[in-house]
A and B are shown apart, each in its own frame.
Chain A
């Protein structure tokens, strides 16, 4: 039986994977997710411990307060993403990746040094809205379901097709009349909001929040979720996030060797699954067994 605490972590991992996936499915290698995740976490930690009116002293932190935090964190992340997205998204490929890593590092150093973020110790005793991990699991799964549905809807819309066009050839896409800057910015903002919402849940779940929650390692780890799971469908990052969060925890019995084995998994995985676990072919194969599939149109 898998520990429910681990399940919550896995679902949070899947959410972070989706946050990296959204810009990537438009060809944008943005690694800013841990930065926005940290913003969300600090928002939740500061509000719930510093604003008594939200009900932090109650035995169970009120759900409306949690919703308020989610709203505020999402809004702040969206505002930051909108502000920096314009200039940052003009960068391409590895330059974009490094600019977003820089952003994450700047945020990390700020969080470590600002007077109100608790320094290296961070903020602790964050109130709990749920009495057991099952409650968190429910909340995280609900968020994952909503984000997954959003991704699925987006892929079928004009926005999703524009993303695919930009991924294949940005220049050609802009020549076809796609407002590439706008599409890229939209994906960046949605990705930031997903990360911040995940951060809010995560801060309450972990009970403590510090600057280690958003670091360079996390940037690449979340990218690994997407690459490992498959970057061609929104199911990929979910699979990757679930799997790669579970591996180090399931390896706990082997003690000190576990991160070495985890490293091996990351090194060997892409060699055998260059397209990730969930590939378009796999999905097509599965769709054949889907009983309610629509009849394919005659050629």
Chain B
């Protein structure tokens, strides 16, 4: 029987990862005004990269069957590297699915299709190379850390604490970077008004690339964390998470960083509180929440209301 404290920790740690992942969407959305549906596939890649970097071998079904990297990194090193690799893939997605359309000033609807197409390509590449089977990170991924800790009488899985800790670190780092650095401020300027930002000498194309790289990094890290905490259920496992993170993003208010964090934690907790006999319905919680909030408060929990100028 889980105690309330355990449920709380479960909820918060998953919620923190949702928030992290959702922020990846928000960066691209605030700069380009479109949603990158390839994000779920990049998340999946992050999990697979983490698995490979800590020395995991490819299963029997893909083209790369039986292969493994000649080295095995500790998790704390593998995770950021997987994030960087995911960032590179995200840049590739930008080059293939976004830049050609942007050059032609195509309507925003088309980005939904091309980014989904890029996601389809990535997911099926994974399937081709690594097979459709699931993978799980070895139980000793965290090195010498114990599997569970005793916190005030409750057993809390160390993995949950790692999820919570890493997410908090990355979120704090991201906020500091956005608010305190030249690059972060420039990104905000481009998202406010790209034309004015360009007139002020900001390289807006560079900022678009930067937003894709950072969002890919966030997606990759989230993927690695989820892969550690549950397991990688196959090439499609990021799609459901991607959709939920999108829900979190809209729930918090598109473009609002604190909103995404708040919404992530709310959804994580709400899912953790679903009683186990109804666990099949867990995946609907986020969407039911989102649906209700959209109807009552379309701008999301902490978003600014859309103002239509005539």
Contact = CB atoms under 8 A, between A and B. Distances in A.
A106 B100 contact: no
Q: Which of A102, A109, A220 has the most CB of B within 10 A?
A: A102
Nearest to B33: A94
Interface residues of B, number: 44
Q: Which of A113, A228, A257 has the most CB of B within 10 A?
A: A113
A95 B246 contact: no
Interface in B216-270: 239, 243, 246-247, 250, 254
B141 interface: no
Contact of A266 (B35, B116, B243, B250): B116
A216 B128 CA distance: 22
Contact of A271 (B104, B128, B290, B291): B104
A109 B287 CA distance: 10
9 contacts: A91-B298, A102-B288, A223-B112, A224-B113, A260-B125, A263-B119, A266-B114, A271-B104, A274-B107
Interface of A: 29, 87-88, 90-92, 94-95, 97-99, 101-103, 105-106, 109-110, 112-113, 171, 216-217, 220, 223-224, 227-228, 231, 256-257, 259-260, 262-267, 269-271, 274
A264 to B, nearest CB: 6
Contacts of B239: 216-217
Interface in B279-310: 280-281, 283-284, 287-288, 290-291, 294-295, 298, 306, 308, 310
Nearest to B109: A227
A267 B308 contact: no
Interface in B93-117: 96-97, 100-101, 104, 106-107, 109-110, 112-114, 116-117
Q: Is the interface of A mostly helix, strand, loop or mixed?
A: helix
B310 A227 contact: no
A232 B82 CA distance: 43
A113 to B, nearest CB: 4
Contacts of A29: 109
A228 B110 CA distance: 9
A223 B112 CA distance: 9
A262 B247 contact: no
Contact of A274 (B110, B280, B291, B310): B110
Contact of A262 (B37, B120, B125, B280): B120
Contacts of B294: 88, 91, 95, 98-99, 102
Contacts of B124: 256, 259-260, 263
A91 B306 CA distance: 11
A113 B20 CA distance: 29
Q: Which of A97, A231, A265 has the most CB of B within 10 A?
A: A97
Contacts of B100: 271
B61 to A, nearest CB: 10
A88 B310 contact: no
Contacts, number: 120
B118 interface: yes
Interface in B62-120: 96-97, 100-101, 104, 106-107, 109-110, 112-114, 116-120
Nearest to B34: A94
B35 A94 contact: yes
A260 B121 contact: yes
A217 to B, nearest CB: 7
Nearest to B62: A256
Contacts of B37: 220
B117 A105 contact: no
Contact of A220 (B110, B112, B121, B280): B112
Given A106-B287, A256-B128, A263-B121, A220 B104 contact: no
A105 B113 contact: no
B188 interface: no
B127 interface: yes
Nearest to B280: A113
B128 A267 contact: no
Contacts of A266: 113-114, 116-117, 120
Contacts of B107: 274
A263 B118 CA distance: 6
Nearest to B290: A102
A99 B293 CA distance: 10
A270 B110 contact: yes
Given A220-B112, A263-B124, A103 B117 contact: no
B250 A267 contact: no
Contacts of B106: 270-271, 274
A119 to B, nearest CB: 9
A230 B96 CA distance: 21
B12 to A, nearest CB: 23
Given A220-B37, A260-B125, A109 B116 contact: no
Given A90-B298, A224-B116, A171 B280 contact: no
A110 to B, nearest CB: 7
B287 A267 contact: no
